[in-house]
Chains A and B, each alone.
Chain A
Amino acid sequence: MPARDYIRERFFPHMWCPGCGHGIVLNALLRAVEALGLDKKNFVMVSGIGCSARISGYVDFHSMHTLHGRALAFATGIKISKPELNVIVPMGDGDAMAIGGNHFIHAARRNIEMTAIVMNNRIYGMTGGQFSPLSGYGTMGTTAPYGNIDHGFNTVDLASSAGATFVARTTTYHARELADFIGQAISHPGFSVLEVLSQCPTQFGRRNKAGDAPEMLESYRTGTARIDSKKKRENPDLIERGIFVQKELPEYCREYERIISKARGE
């Protein structure tokens, strides 16, 4: 592993199941940070609860493992008090979209400079396979033994509507694209959201007959297409990958500084 300087090796092998996509996200994240050439002392990773949240224990950055769904709220406090830090907030689909849904949309609306990575495995893995807001209609879970009747959120549409100034989606199959998008999301001067389709062979794959980890990765290859690609035009049902939003708006911490100066009459 080339980016060994950025991990806490004493905690390896990690606790994720064989073939879990979250390890690929960690792998790409380390490469992205290494490629940016930034000092690891300037990174803070803040996570909530769930399989995804365990990622903060493996990186050798400043890290905080906080409350379920509340990682963005803790991260906002950190960023406001020390705006010079790069704040990364990895979240699971349940963490980000269910219990943390409100924090998610309001962090996006404020445009506070941080990187929210939604590691979407479509299930609550750690607690035993309950369906999440991203499981999707018709999927099976321990709490949906006859099929899920809830429709899923579209993370990209939700984040875009809520005001995030960088919104992208990719998968763990597209490992190079994943590292590239994480790098761009970290460099973006505003609230960035990256949804990563990440396979859970143990809880989601097994219940939904999606196969083992390689088969689930194959489904990301065949089931997704780049925005505006020929493949997407020919198969409109494919899930789109790419950067959907990339724009600059006043950033929250800098605006806050401006208000402080104004109040002081400077």
Chain B
Amino acid sequence: MKNSETKTAAREHHIERAWCKGCGICVHFCPKQVHKLDEEGKACAVRPEDCIGCRLCELRCPDLAIEVIDRQAADRQGKDHE
């Protein structure tokens, strides 16, 4: 994959704001510093284009509030259904 392609955010981070309690685990352990806590203390993906898709934020979220969506996989799945 070319670098330019990865920089157009291949993944989307769906964060359930009402469920997030702002513990900061996703922020602390993200190897690419994709997340930060916003002014309300909720997790927010500020650099989604840097995400490498390890899903550690999703797996370690104690609030079950994060889902990493692989756009290309989602597109492929969409095409399969057409």
Contact = CB atoms under 8 A, between A and B. Distances in A.
Contacts of B62: 16, 18-24, 27, 172, 213
A21 B25 CA distance: 11
Interface string A28-44: 10110000000000000
Interface string A49-70: 0000000000000000000000
The interface size bin for chain B is: 20 to 34
A23 B61 contact: yes
B53 interface: no
A17 B16 CA distance: 17
Contacts of B56: 175
A7 B60 CA distance: 17
A18 B23 contact: yes
B52 interface: no
Contact of A212 (B20, B23, B59): B23
A232 to B, nearest CB: 23
B67 A2 contact: yes
Contact of A214 (B20, B24, B59, B63): B24
A214 B22 CA distance: 11
Contacts of B22: 18
Interface string A1-14: 11000010000111
A243 interface: no
A217 interface: yes
A1 B59 contact: no
Contact of B25 (A12, A17, A30, A214): A214
B18 interface: yes
B15 to A, nearest CB: 11
B48 to A, nearest CB: 18
Contacts of B66: 1
B28 A214 contact: yes
Nearest to A212: B24
Contact of B60 (A1, A20, A22, A217): A217
B19 A175 contact: no
Contact of A13 (B19, B58, B67): B19
Contact of A23 (B27, B29, B63): B63
B63 A13 contact: yes
Interface string B23-35: 1110111000000
Interface of A: 1-2, 7, 12-14, 16-24, 26-28, 30-31, 172-173, 175-176, 179, 201, 212-214, 217
8 contacts: A1-B65, A14-B63, A18-B21, A19-B25, A20-B62, A23-B63, A213-B25, A217-B25
Interface of B: 16, 18-25, 27-29, 56, 58-67
